[in-house]
Amino acid sequence: MTKPFAIPGTGQRPTTSATAAVAGRIFLLDNPRFIHQVPPFLAADRSGMVLCGKGSNAKVDAISRQSTSPLFSDPAAYNQVATADEPFALPKCDGALFGSDLDAILQGQRQCHATAAITPSRY
């Protein structure tokens, strides 16, 4: 993804490409259960944070307003084997009100104010 996009919502960050947002940075990877705020030791100019797994979209949304560095929501799908028929780990939509396709997952990350969307790619 090299085409710039705007992050929706109030307090928008500047429009930038995903490549520019991550270049030269070291990211803290953490579980959303253990994060209550953006850690104060993260340097805004050379670091960022990735929340990984269940509840990551909600936590990114909750702390996005206090983050001055890139913030991502990782669906953590890489613990499943990819096949030609199923390269992405999409949630089962049995009985779901709304479908859970790739576009919905990526749009959900954007709506929660993530700096860029991460695909739920299997390995």
DSSP strands (E only) in the chain: 26-30, 47-52, 71-74
pLDDT tens digits, one per residue of 108-118: 999 999 999 99
Residue 23 scores a pLDDT above 70 = yes
Residue 79 scores a pLDDT above 90 = no
Residue 114 CA from chain centroid, whole number: 5
Contact 68, 44 (CB under 8 A): yes
Both structure tokens of 40: 């104060």
**Residue 34's pLDDT band (boundaries 50, 70, 90)?**
very high
pTM, entire model: 0.72
Residue 58 scores a pLDDT above 90 = yes
What's the whole-number average pLDDT of the chain? 83
Contact 17, 2 (CB under 8 A): yes
